[in-house]
Chain A
């Protein structure tokens, strides 16, 4: 099976702009989680989607949002970008995402905000 894919792999944006990142899960996986990875904070949970429903959300401002489509592909959006949003954004997919199943990560999207 193909692994988790993310597009684009690299992005450079300016403060105040918005950005949309995409994640395609492993075939058959219905849960997609998003994480922000930075050197200082490590891996921080953003949100998780299952069957097009957000089931859980981390402690991030409302500028961070996401959605999931009927084919399980997911997007996350960050509006009004700030310098501190520069990070590696990782998505992970799992079969059901009930916290009891393995999560497999994509390669990430490296976002740089200038």
Chain B
């Protein structure tokens, strides 16, 4: 089945710096890659997603890039703010007839003021 690896597991940056989180996936048929942000005690929130027919997508300070050949995708957060501190999860859908998301183990991002 699908396997999603996420790195790093923890990331600490200074306010205003950029943060990059990377994920790799194993199922070459995967074609949907969402990112979720989960603050302490809250539900995971979808922050951005990308489909396999595009290589990059941006939404204000966040962007996601996808390299289908290498089977990896990344989340980029620019001009980080303390409220960006949270656990970020990447995910990939299982291709074919499977209807499920496989999640990475998460990255704890801490933005220091």
Contact = CB atoms under 8 A, between A and B. Distances in A.
- Contact count band on B: 20 to 34
Contact of A102 (B42, B49, B104): B49
Contacts of B43: 90, 105-108
Contact of A33 (B31, B49, B89, B100): B100
Contact of B106 (A35, A42, A98): A42
Contacts of A50: 99
Contacts of A31: 99
Contact of B100 (A58, A90, A102, A105): A58
A108 B31 CA distance: 27
- Is the contact region of chain A dominated by helix, strand, or loop, or is it mixed? strand
A15 interface: no
Nearest to B1: A59
A103 B31 CA distance: 15
Nearest to A110: B41
B99 A56 contact: yes
A1 B43 CA distance: 17
Interface in B5-33: 31-32
A12 interface: no
A104 B34 CA distance: 11
Interface of B: 31-32, 34, 36, 42-46, 49, 51, 89, 91, 93-95, 98-106
